[in-house]
Structure 1
Amino acid sequence: MISYPPLSILNLPSTIFCSLNLTKLCIYVDSLDDCLYLLDGHLKQLTTFIVQINYIGNNLSIIHNTDDLFNLKSFSLTCYNITNEYDNRVIPLFHCMKNLEKLTLYIRLENRSTFVDDTHLHKKILMHMSQLHTFTFSISTMIEFNDSFHLLVDNDIQQTFTNIGYYQTTSTVNYCRESKAICHVFSLPFTFNRLEMITNRFPTIIFHHVTYLQVFDKVQFKHKFFNRIAKAFPLLKYFTISSKLLSLIDFNKYEYDYIQSCPIIQFSHLISLNMMVQNPYYIEQFLLNTKTHLPRLIELKLSYSHLKNVTKNFIRDATRHNSGNIKRLTFCDTCDFPTKFSHYFPFLNTVSYITSTR
């Protein structure tokens, strides 16, 4: 994961990013306009451009001359923050890359009227790149729907790819709370190291490269789901659970009835766990050593009150093992630091607070 801030180069002197010899560039920039600035005649010999963009906004007041990108053969665009400017700004950029041979795209979309499927990709991208032979992508689309919306299922999206002979893909459609639906489409094998907004329904494949995963529940996740996550994402390091659901399980019954009935889940590489949720069941699930084994966990993000309750005011032995190596704690509520706190987390060196769970 990138730990340094993105570059904002749009307002810098034009001579700073200018070269007649550079053929390959890998860079992390703040906005799409920074990316377009670099392609605006400053790097005329560029053949390979790998860019991660912090956000894709709608700054249409800036005019870029990207009409001539004939030398560009390989382009990779990654943007983790969700955007609604894909159709207005990203697609026109692709249309300038007529000689592109390799395209990589990771993007998350919202506020579209339809999901991105093969018909869209074929008409808006593939038809404009006659030299393209490799297209690697992960695209998620979140839309709002009403009673008149024709509900699609996974096979509907998958069939559209099969119809044009694009077989090495998979897709999933999930209908969530608040009349929202999200569709994931991606090429296989999945080569990206990040995947977000996954529910309890995701493809039955192994994601060998994913180290960062975000899931959100439309129904409460159970032990079986997390066991499947551990097997499907064997190299997972950063795990975020998003939820607005309250617990549907009584802790006393949960501990008595289920501890002995389920196998212990092994997350061998997990170092950071974000559980800023209203549901303390998930904290119980991960900290209880009879449910989950977290040998490398060093960072927790969660509610202090939930942590205090689950650890029984920091004296519970069953949750001590998975907490023993914690170095960083981030809370979304106030903390009173009881006397047993430091003994429960002997390696703790950082405690911080955030005001938002997003």
Structure 2
Amino acid sequence: MNQSNVGLLDLPTEILLVILKNLTNIDVLYSLLNVDNQRLDIIVQGNTFTNTLDFVLTTLTDDIFLFNDSIIDRFCKNILPRIHQNVKYLILDSLSMKRILLAADYPNLTQLKLFNFNDKIQSDYFTVKTPFRHIFQQQITDLILVFENNLNEISIKNYTTDMYEYILKFFENLKHLSVMGSFPRFFPPLVLNNLPSTTFFSSILNKLSIHIMNFDDCLALLDGRLKQLTTLILVIDNMKNHSSNVYHIDNLSNLKCFSLTIYDCLTDLYDTEILPLFRRMINLEELTLYITIRNRTTLIDGNHISNEILIHMPQLHTLKFCISIKIHRNHFIHYLSKNDIQQSFSNIKYQQMDCIVNYTYNITTYQIFSLPFMFDCLKSIGNIFPSIIFNHVRRLTVYDDVPFRHEFFYRIAWSFPLLKHLCVINFKPQSSKLDKLNLNYNQLFSVIKYPYLISLRLDMAYIHYTDQFLNQTKTHLPSLTKLTVDYERLNIVTRNFRKTTTRLNCSKIKQLIISPPIMNSIVTNMRRSKHFNLYFPLLESCVCSLEDE
């Protein structure tokens, strides 16, 4: 066969567009744009290329930390001036935001997503003196702020008045506002309790996604200060107190989509605070509920959801839920099996569901959830869980008083393919011998791979599980950067940081959290150890902590 001399630019325009829209390497686009080719310029600047531009800008942001200054400069000099009129959506890192926004005018830019946001970015750029004032104040209608991990010290209440309320006023045409952060600390919550009803007020905002301090703040947001609100997405860490204020809330006839995440809620607060609020959402079309409820004496099943929630939402067409109920065994009033729970959902038309029942010591945990599972977190599953793929889960806690065998962690890797954060709680040994670590590994088992796992917590697990994960003949952890572990168990499993088979899984760790706290002198000597340093060549911090992550 003769060698073909046909190049990329010799392809028909339609095929070239398809290729451009599916590019994953932005350097290829740089090469194309640097070619002095009139036809390519027409394609790049034409309206038919708008969607491709959005994709390329998104790809740039995802890979921004891989780019050096010269590449970013090329992007600003050679690409943006040629496509700026088509740009409607920019996804930027705060470090490169200024250069990119100064590279060209963006007359059609209406959406902005900003990573590594903090209060300094706000004070430097969200002001009347900024060169981007017109873009921010007049053009931006959709704003997503992603907080950085290391926040400057500032009081929570000041974040509400000095940042969140300020942003709502400064962006005069803002209709969508989302504020998010990284696990586990997220970002400073919105706090409206004891502040005037004019705080955080907008007559045009129709979508809000934010982390709040408690349920009082949820009620405050719905008291009329956001009259045009149609979508509300809220996250509350815990809900342990009754509402301390009286809020006058009419029927929420404008609200179409509501999402509520509560990681810890007492059962009486669920019954007296949350359920009455649901009854006011008469025109709701989409409901997303992720909630963990403690101290309950009865289960929440399909009958409860139908009779206490859905009956008040006649327009509802989409229901996504994960409800976890923790019950002390001696507090049972009505026991339901897994089949009983599934049968109770037979009259709910929205979608399929499944459930997990986990018995640990004196507590039984019931988790009922819609399918497909759409949440990024799943807590306290044990040895028994359904054989389905949880494609969205990034954070998982496994907890049982029955030992986890090697096969269990195979199933975890298969069921949670994109897992990034894992906590193991189990004080029972994997082997039958309680007095020592069984190092005679059964070679019939293959190595388990967790390609995306970056954080692993083992300080509440028996020593066998430290070996299970750190031993490269059992588990492969190519992305692990954070490890929380008991010091003595780590020392034994690694043979005082000399064992070869546990070295690889430790080699990329940047943050090591030792639990329980040990003497500073021990930590200092450990860090000075030649063997320790060889084991953790990329280590940036080694601290002692008893705090929950």
TM over 0.5: yes
Distance 1:196 1:82, change over 3 A: farther
Query: Partner residue of 2:385?
Result: 202
Please report how far the alpha carbon of residue 83 of structure 1 lies from its aligned counterpart in structure 2 after TM superposition. 3.4
1:63-101 deviation line (CA, Å, top 9, x unaligned): 112223111011011122343321121111111111111
Listed as ranges, the gaps of 5+ residues in structure 2 are 1-181
Query: Would you say 1:100 and 2:289 are equivalent positions?
Result: no
Match of 2:493 in 1: 310
Question: CA 1:61–1:147 in 2, change beyond 3 Å: closer, same or farther?
Answer: closer
Q: Does the C-alpha gap of structure 1 residues 135 and 269 become closer, same or farther in structure 2, counting only changes over 3 Å?
A: same
2:449 match = 266
Measure, in 1, the Cα distance between the counterparts of 2:350 and 2:282.
20
Give the CA RMSD over aligned residues: 2.0
Scaled by the length of structure 2, the TM-score of the pair is 0.62
CA spacing shift, 1:294–1:249, aligned 2, 3 Å: farther
- 2:220 maps to which of 37, 41, 46: 37
Equivalent residues of 1:115, 1:142 under 8 A apart: no
Structure 2 residue 320 is matched with structure 1 residue 136: yes
Corresponding residue for residue 258 of structure 2: 75
Q: Deviations over 1:307-354 (max 9, x none)?
A: 001101000010000000000011112162431222210111111222
Output the CA distance in 2 between the equivalents of 1:148 and 1:103. 29
| Correspondence 1:7 to 2:190 | yes
Q: Find the aligned partners of 1:148 and 1:210 in 2 and give their Cα distance.
A: 30
Which position in structure 1 is the counterpart of 2:405?
A: 222
Residues 331 and 71 of structure 1: is their aligned pair in 2 closer, same or farther, counting only changes over 3 Å?
Answer: same
Between the two proteins, what is the percent identity of the paired residues? 44
Aligned CA distance change for structure 1 residues 88 and 150 (closer, same or farther; 3 Å):
closer
Matched, 1:18 2:196: no
In structure 1, what residue type is equivalent to 2:538?
F
* Cα distance in 2 between the residues matched to 1:133 and 1:316: 57
Residues 1:148 and 1:126: Cα distance change in structure 2 (over 3 Å): closer
* CA–CA distance in structure 2, aligned partners of residues 82 and 125 of structure 1: 17
| CA distance, structure 1, for counterparts of residue 545 and residue 503 of structure 2 | 24
Q: Which amino acid aligns with 1:145?
A: R
In the alignment, what sits opposite 1:348? 539
C-alpha separation in 2, matches of 1:346 and 1:29: 39
Change (3 A) 1:120 1:301: same
What is the one-letter code of the residue matched to 2:534? H
Assess, with a 3 A threshold, how the Cα gap between structure 1 residues 51 and 357 changes in structure 2: closer, same or farther.
closer
1:231 — aligned with what?
Answer: 414
Provide the residue aligned with 1:241 in structure 2.
424
Name the SS of the counterpart of 2:505 in structure 1. Answer: helix
Mean alpha-carbon deviation: is it higher for 248-257 or for 22-31?
Answer: 248-257
Is the contact between residue 18 and residue 42 of structure 1 (CA under 8 Å) also seen in structure 2? yes
In the aligned structure 1, how far is the partner of 2:334 from the partner of 2:364? 12
Asked if residue 154 in structure 1 is aligned to residue 345 in structure 2, the reply is no
Say whether the 8 Å CA contact 2:236–2:262 is kept in structure 1. Answer: yes
Which one has the bigger helix percentage?
Answer: 2
Tell me by how many angstroms 1:14 deviates: 3.0
Structure 1 residues 291 and 82: alpha-carbon distance in aligned structure 2, compared to 1, 3 A threshold: farther
Taking structure 1 as the reference length, the TM-score comes to 0.94
**Aligned 8 A contact 1:75 1:100 in 2:** yes
Q: 1:275, 1:283 within 8 Å by CA — same for their partners in 2?
A: yes
| Bigger relative contact order (CA 8 A; separation at least 6) | 1
CA distance in 1, matches of 2:422, 2:413: 11
